[in-house]
């Protein structure tokens, strides 16, 4: 009896030790073309987002969360590399040399895989469609989704041809957002006993505007048809996020999983974009602009017992920060040789560091540019297709006093314009020329292929 008891105690101790030493799981969730105003934690009233709101309450909500590109593919390239995508020519949706994310760049999945993680991706790739650019050639052990920039949400010919499980086309009969949620749960179920990294990249709420009848009925009170469809599509994504968190809880993994959520860019509200019914208030601007409405997005980092729940963090951060932050959380080594432009946010979000993570943040998108330092932002943005050279450029805003970028202060503060413009030019001098044409230059052709 004594031997049996000692054996049981030894086994229990070993189990507890393993649990304590197990590296945290990582889930990176990305929404597509979301409006800044379209989540409950930013004050949205007509579209309930209870599960995203709960995630925000469980973690840190970054009110000045940015992305490095004002539309789809560049932001994803920056996320997976932790580097300004302009450094390797991926300024536009056409991507780097030859199209797509250059093979010379190491991805977040590459790093987690080497660290012993099971890596999986579900959803929209948009980083190249050649065999050597497939997610499973870029560090992911498993993949379910589509390779392009946009996709139908309903079963049909498109679903039969372009939804892949691994490298093989599969017949998918579910509403696509629900299918992505289902596959995320299955990945968690398969790998609940080992550290995993899951990149869950929804195409919701990107066009085409497709919503299922059941969810549309929930929003019958919204008279605008596009906004009503958008609300139903948001609700589907919110449901999937809630299901993911519930599954983690069911497996006892919630406290050992770090979850991040952000949108790949702001909502498309300009006539030259594929308008989806989104709202960016109080921000001015749209997807495909370097105004705040194009680059400031809903942004959450949640890690129970490691980061404070319900904290609001107001210093500027960017999606480039997520890779060094997540690697640091998981004890995966990195250093100067990795050439990250992002920084480890953990000491800042936890309150151990009180300063700003970044002295400056930079943007370049064709003729458009921006730099933010503290409350000041210098910007050259496109109103429609091109910059109007008859206007005075660049424009200067104080975002603390003028979040809507309505009052140009460049004439009042020429010294600040000169300082920020010199800093941006210094950053820009190290960048190669972009590869391919911008969405604005490609116009209607680009909108058809998906942004």
Q: For residue 369, is pLDDT > 70?
A: yes
pLDDT at residue 304, as a whole number:
97
Q: For residue 20, is pLDDT > 70?
A: no
Burial of 285 (0-12, 13-18, 19+ CB in 10 A): buried
The predicted model gives 86-110 an average pLDDT of 90
pLDDT at residue 198, as a whole number:
99
Instruction: Please give the share of the chain, as a percent, with pLDDT higher than 90.
Output: 84
The predicted model gives 164-181 an average pLDDT of 96
Domain residue ranges of the chain, discontinuous segments joined by +: 23-350, 361-449
Higher pLDDT, 384 or 266: 266
Q: 307 near 352, Cβ under 8 Å?
A: no
Higher pLDDT, 13 or 217: 217
Higher pLDDT, 273 or 86: 86
Fold observed for domain 361-449: Arylsulfatase, C-terminal domain (3.30.1120)
Could you give the CA distance from residue 75 to residue 285 in angstroms, rounded to a whole number? 17
* Confidence at 448, pLDDT banded by 50, 70, 90: very low
The predicted model gives 181-186 an average pLDDT of 98
Could you give the CA distance from residue 370 to residue 102 in angstroms, rounded to a whole number? 25
Superfamily of domain 23-350: Alkaline Phosphatase, subunit A (3.40.720.10)
The predicted model gives 423-431 an average pLDDT of 97
Burial of 293 (0-12, 13-18, 19+ CB in 10 A): buried
How many Cβ atoms sit within 10 Å of the Cβ of residue 93? 25
The predicted model gives 214-237 an average pLDDT of 98
Q: For residue 244, is pLDDT > 60?
A: yes
Could you give the CA distance from residue 92 to residue 333 in angstroms, rounded to a whole number? 30
The predicted model gives 306-318 an average pLDDT of 98
Could you give the CA distance from residue 376 to residue 354 in angstroms, rounded to a whole number? 19
Residue showing tokens 């009110």: 63
pLDDT at residue 437, as a whole number:
56
Q: For residue 3, is pLDDT > 70?
A: no
* Confidence at 438, pLDDT banded by 50, 70, 90: very low
Catalytic residue, chosen from 51, 72, 191, 358, is 72
Catalytic residue, chosen from 51, 126, 134, 151, is 126
Q: For residue 312, is pLDDT > 90?
A: yes
User: Is 361-449 the same fold as 23-350?
Assistant: no
Phi, psi of 214 (to 5 degrees): -60, -45
* Confidence at 273, pLDDT banded by 50, 70, 90: confident
The predicted model gives 158-168 an average pLDDT of 84
Active site residue 126: yes
Active site residue 330: no
* Confidence at 403, pLDDT banded by 50, 70, 90: very high
């Amino acid at each position: 009896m004594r031997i049996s008891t000692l054996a049981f105690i030894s086994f229990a101790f070993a189990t507890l030790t393993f649990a304590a030493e197990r590296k945290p799981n990582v889930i990176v969730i990305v929404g597509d073309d979301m409006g800044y105003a379209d989540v409950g934690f930013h004050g949205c009233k007509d579209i309930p987002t209870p599960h995203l709101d709960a995630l925000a309450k469980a973690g840190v909500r970054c009110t000045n969360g940015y992305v490095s590109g004002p539309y789809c593919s560049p932001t994803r390239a920056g996320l997976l590399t932790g580097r300004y995508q302009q450094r390797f020519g991926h300024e536009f949706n056409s991507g780097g040399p030859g199209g797509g994310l250059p093979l010379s760049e190491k991805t977040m999945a590459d790093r987690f895989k080497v660290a012993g993680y099971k890596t999986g991706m579900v959803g929209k790739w948009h980083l190249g469609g050649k065999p050597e650019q497939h997610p499973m050639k870029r560090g992911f052990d498993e993949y379910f989704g589509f390779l392009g920039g946009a996709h139908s949400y309903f079963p049909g010919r498109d679903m039969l041809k372009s939804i892949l499980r691994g490298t093989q086309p599969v017949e998918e009969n579910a509403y696509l957002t629900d299918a992505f949620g289902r596959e995320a749960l299955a990945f968690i179920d398969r790998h609940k006993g080992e550290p995993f990294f899951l990149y869950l990249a929804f195409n919701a709420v990107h066009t085409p505007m497709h919503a299922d009848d059941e969810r549309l009925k929930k929003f019958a009170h919204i008279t605008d048809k596009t906004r009503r469809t958008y609300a139903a599509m948001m609700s589907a994504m919110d449901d999937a996020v809630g299901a993911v968190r519930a599954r983690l809880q069911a497996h006892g993994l919630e406290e050992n999983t770090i979850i991040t959520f952000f949108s790949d860019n702001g909502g498309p509200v300009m006539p030259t974009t594929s308008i989806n019914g989104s709202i960016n208030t109080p921000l001015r601007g749209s997807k495909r602009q370097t105004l705040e409405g194009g680059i400031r997005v809903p942004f959450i980092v949640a890690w129970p017992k490691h980061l404070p729940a319900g904290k609001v963090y107001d210093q500027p951060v960017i999606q480039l920060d997520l890779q060094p932050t997540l690697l640091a959380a998981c004890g995966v080594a990195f250093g100067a040789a990795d050439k990250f432009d992002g920084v480890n946010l953990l000491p800042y979000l936890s309150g151990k560091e009180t300063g700003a993570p970044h002295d400056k943040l930079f943007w370049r998108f064709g003729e458009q540019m921006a730099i933010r330092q503290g409350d000041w932002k210098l910007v050259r943005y496109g109103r429609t297709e091109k910059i109007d050279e008859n206007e005075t450029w660049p424009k200067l805003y104080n975002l603390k006093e003028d979040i809507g970028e309505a009052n140009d202060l460049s004439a009042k503060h020429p010294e600040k314009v000169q300082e920020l413009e010199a800093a941006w030019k210094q950053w820009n001098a190290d960048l190669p020329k972009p590869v391919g044409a911008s969405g604005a230059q490609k116009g209607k052709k680009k909108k058809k292929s998906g942004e």
